[in-house]
C-alpha cells in the first residue's frame, strides 16, 4: 500500500515530527497503544538520523475537566483518571528510548490532537527552516492523522513513515493508510523507514 517517495529525495529541510510516544500510551499506561513497542525501533532510527531535526510532541491533559471547554470537557469527564489531578506526571514523559535524544532533539507540549495546536511549533519550524515533515508516532488514526492534515494545509511536503506509526485500533490504522492511498496520494507520501532514511540527505 502506498507509492513510496514519489517526489524523490528528501532534502536537508526535513524534520522528523514524532507524535506522543510517551509512557502514557505505552503498554501498561492508561491509554496503551499495544503496537508502540513494535514500531519503536523505526522511530528511534528516524530520530537517530539527525537528532537536532527531530521534534517530539507530548500530549498533556488538563488539570481537571473544568479547565477546558466544549466537547473536551465531556471527554475528560469520561477520562478523569488521565487528568493531571489524578495522573502520575511521570506518565507524560517520552519513553526512555526517545528521551535520550533530548537535547538536541526538541520537545513541544500540546493539549489537542494535532501537533500544530502547540503555540511553539510554528516558530520552531521556522528556526529549523523546515519544508518537509516526516511523521511517526501515535496514534495513526487520531493525533498523527490530525497533524498530517494540518501539515498538508500548511504546505509542507508530508511523509508518513508507515512502519513507525501505531494505533490502539487496527481497523482505524488500516483505514487511514487506505484513505491516504486513495484520496491523498498527491499530497502525502507513505513509505517505510528504510526507504525514508536512504533518501534523506545526511546531516552535514
Which residue has better confidence, 35 or 196?
196
Residue 166 has which C-alpha cell?
501505531
Neighbouring CB atoms inside 10 A of 82's CB total: 20
Least confident of 29-43, 63-77, 131-145: 29-43
> In 3D, which of 84, 86, 89, 36 has the Cα closest to residue 62?
84
Render pLDDT for 87-127 as a digit per residue (tens, 0 to 9).
999 999 999 999 999 999 999 999 999 999 999 999 999 99
Question: pLDDT-based confidence at 160, cuts 50/70/90?
Answer: very high
> In 3D, which of 146, 110, 138, 148 has the Cα closest to residue 25?
138
The pLDDT, as a whole number, for residue 80 is 94
Average pLDDT, the chain: 93
Domains of the chain: 14-61+90-199 (3.40.50.850)
Residue whose C-alpha cell reads 494545509 in the numeric block: 153
The pLDDT, as a whole number, for residue 1 is 45
Region 160-180: what's the mean pLDDT?
Answer: 92
Could you list the beta-strand ranges (E) of 34-175: 54-59, 106-110, 132-138, 157-166
The pLDDT, as a whole number, for residue 28 is 81
Amino acid at each position: 500500500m502506498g507509492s513510496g517517495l514519489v517526489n524523490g529525495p528528501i532534502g536537508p529541510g526535513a524534520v522528523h515530527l514524532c507524535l506522543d510516544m510517551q509512557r502514557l500510551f505505552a503498554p501498561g499506561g492508561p491509554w496503551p497503544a499495544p503496537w508502540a513497542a513494535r514500531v519503536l525501533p523505526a522511530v528511534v532510527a528516524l530520530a537517530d538520523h539527525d537528532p537536532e531535526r527531530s521534534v517530539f510532541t507530548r500530549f498533556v491533559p488538563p488539570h481537571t475537566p473544568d479547565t477546558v471547554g466544549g466537547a473536551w470537557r465531556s471527554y475528560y469527564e469520561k477520562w478523569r483518571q488521565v487528568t493531571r489531578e489524578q495522573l502520575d506526571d511521570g506518565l507524560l514523559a517520552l519513553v526512555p528510548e526517545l528521551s535520550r535524544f533530548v537535547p538536541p532533539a526538541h520537545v513541544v507540549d500540546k493539549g489537542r490532537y494535532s501537533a500544530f495546536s502547540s503555540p511553539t511549533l510554528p516558530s520552531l519550524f521556522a528556526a529549523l527552516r523546515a519544508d518537509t515533515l516526516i511523521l511517526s508516532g501515535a496514534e495513526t488514526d487520531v493525533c498523527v492523522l490530525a497533524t498530517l492534515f494540518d501539515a498538508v494545509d500548511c504546505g509542507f511536503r508530508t511523509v508518513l513513515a508507515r512502519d513507525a506509526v501505531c494505533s490502539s485500533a487496527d481497523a482505524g490504522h488500516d483505514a487511514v493508510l487506505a484513505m491516504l492511498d486513495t484520496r491523498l496520494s498527491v499530497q502525502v507520501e507513505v513509505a517505510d523507514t528504510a526507504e525514508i532514511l536512504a533518501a534523506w540527505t545526511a546531516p552535514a
